[in-house]
Amino acid sequence: MTGLAVVDTSSHWSGTGQAVIIALIQIGGFGIMGLTSLAGMIITGHMSLRWRVTATAEGRSLTTANVKKILIATFFLTVFCELTTASIIATRMAISYGKSFHEALWSGIFYSISAFNNAGFALEADSLTRYVSDIWIIIPLSLSFIIGGIGFPVVIEIIDKITAWRKTGRKTSNRLSLTARISLTGTAILIAAGTMMVANLEWAGALHHLPAGSKILAAFFQGASPRTAGFNSIDYGSMHPTTLMGTDILMFIGGGSAGTAGGVKITTFAILCAAMIAQFKGHQDTTIHGRKIPNEVTRQSLTVFAAGIISVTISVGLLRVLEPQFSADQISFEVISAFSTVGLSTGITANLSGASQIIICALMYLGRIGPITLVASLAAKSSQRQFSYPEERPFIG
């Protein structure tokens, strides 16, 4: 589900090989969405490890019957998004690019699954650069990987509230959960920031050959894709180092929790920012949107973020030793892309040595299951000392 590859998907693999790849992407995406949704609810207190019904801060509860509902809803949402995207892409491929019915249909299916599951695999060696100005290709794929990357609990919560509103004709009494508000706000801010970054830094650079409208479309796509999907409509090898650094940040943060996106997640980053703001202001409590964040959640966020930083730093150091022919920007970009399971590259993946590729593979695996496993294990631990040590304040800074 990462998108980094040492061979060209379209020319190296047969139709059967491509079918296997897309099947694995689909299985991985649905499985991860379902399992991490349940893990996320366990962690946030919606559901105990013993399947007990618990009350949440929003006043909702979850029974074992809801679990089946969630997984079924995951399946139908996946099918709906992928079929809608596949239909649009296939139609566009057949009408505007002269592909046969079977070629257009396969392109639609492949791209829709790859986008919704945030895999980043493409059927062209240059990813989506040939479609950089095609709004009927870029926008459907963008919406697909944004929805998949927000996090399924957030999407299903929004759908439930819209459904309730349509039935009753008025707003429901409960507002969106804190997770939903952080994820939606963070997604909007990061996409806007990414779009402005690419537009400002590459308007006369990697985007110089495009008309104004296409520049804006390409900037939007490259501002949204690094957080989750791994597609590119312009060549990253021709981008300014500052753009690569900004993209590194977007990739490392990633998307929403319990979705198909990678990274340390928006909620983790938002909680750490809120904790810093509280410390700057001298406040005792960390608050977001009028809600107090428990100290253990802040510590979990700090642990996940620090573990990610350490993993990336060590890997960058190792690859700098193993691959001295590549620049620090290229190595850092490749490592963060792997850890965040994004799949973007400056074009060096196939030229890495065997040892470096093994490190990249390990990073992809760690980035996919590491944050989830780490937070789940931290949340499951409830050991408390029956004593406390004397307090002493060391110098900080």
**CA atoms within 13 Å, Cβ hemisphere of 311:** 27
297's tokens = 């959640």
DSSP bridge partners of 53:
47
Q: Residue 285 contacts by C-beta under 8 Å, 6 or more apart in sequence?
A: 278, 292, 293
Start-to-end Cα distance in the chain? 40
- The DSSP-derived string for 110-158 is HHHHHHHTT----SSTTTTGGGTT-HHHHHHHHHHHHHHHH-HHHHHHH
Q: Is residue 102 part of a domain?
A: yes
Cβ count near 376 (within 10 Å): 17
CB 284 within 8 A of CB 317: no
Q: Residue 365 contacts by C-beta under 8 Å, 6 or more apart in sequence?
A: none
Q: Which domain holds residue 242?
A: 15-167+175-380
The kind and range of the H/E element at 351 are: none
Angle at 52 between CA 180 and CA 289, to 5 degrees: 25
Q: Is residue 330 part of a domain?
A: yes
User: What confidence score (pLDDT) does residue 66 get?
Assistant: 55
User: What confidence score (pLDDT) does residue 84 get?
Assistant: 96
CB 215 within 8 A of CB 201: no
Which of the four pLDDT bands, split at 50, 70 and 90, describes residue 57? very low
User: What confidence score (pLDDT) does residue 287 get?
Assistant: 92
Residue tagged 């791994």 (tokens): 230
Residue among 281, 246, 255 at smallest CA distance from 340:
255
Please check the confidence at residue 61 and state whether its pLDDT lies above 50: no
Spatial separation of the C-alpha atoms in residues 162 and 159, rounded to whole Å: 5
Q: Is residue 392 part of a domain?
A: no
Q: Residue 132 contacts by C-beta under 8 Å, 6 or more apart in sequence?
A: 138, 210, 214, 217, 218, 221, 233, 234
Predicted confidence (pLDDT) per residue in 162-202, tens digit:
887 777 766 555 678 888 899 999 999 999 999 999 999 99
Spatial separation of the C-alpha atoms in residues 258 and 252, rounded to whole Å: 16
Q: Which conformational region is residue 279 in: left (phi greater than 0), alpha (psi within -120 to 50 degrees), or beta?
A: alpha
3-state secondary structure of 117: coil
- How many domains, in total, are found in the chain? 1
Q: Is residue 54 part of a domain?
A: yes
Cβ count near 7 (within 10 Å): 12
Q: Is residue 394 part of a domain?
A: no
Spatial separation of the C-alpha atoms in residues 117 and 32, rounded to whole Å: 10
Residue tagged 């090989």 (tokens): 17
Beta-sheet strands, E only, within the chain: 286-288, 291-293
Global confidence as pTM: 0.83
Predicted confidence (pLDDT) per residue in 363-381, tens digit:
888 887 766 666 655 555 5
Average pLDDT on 321-333 reads: 93
Q: Is residue 132 part of a domain?
A: yes
CB 81 within 8 A of CB 152: no
Given the DSSP bridges, would you call strands 286-288 and 291-293 parallel, antiparallel or unpaired?
A: antiparallel
Average pLDDT on 105-119 reads: 91
Q: Is residue 269 part of a domain?
A: yes
Predicted confidence (pLDDT) per residue in 339-366, tens digit:
988 888 888 888 899 999 999 988 888 8
Cβ count near 316 (within 10 Å): 18
Percent of the chain clearing pLDDT 90 (strictly above): 41
Q: Is residue 315 part of a domain?
A: yes
39's tokens = 């893990």
User: What confidence score (pLDDT) does residue 51 get?
Assistant: 37
Average pLDDT on 207-228 reads: 91
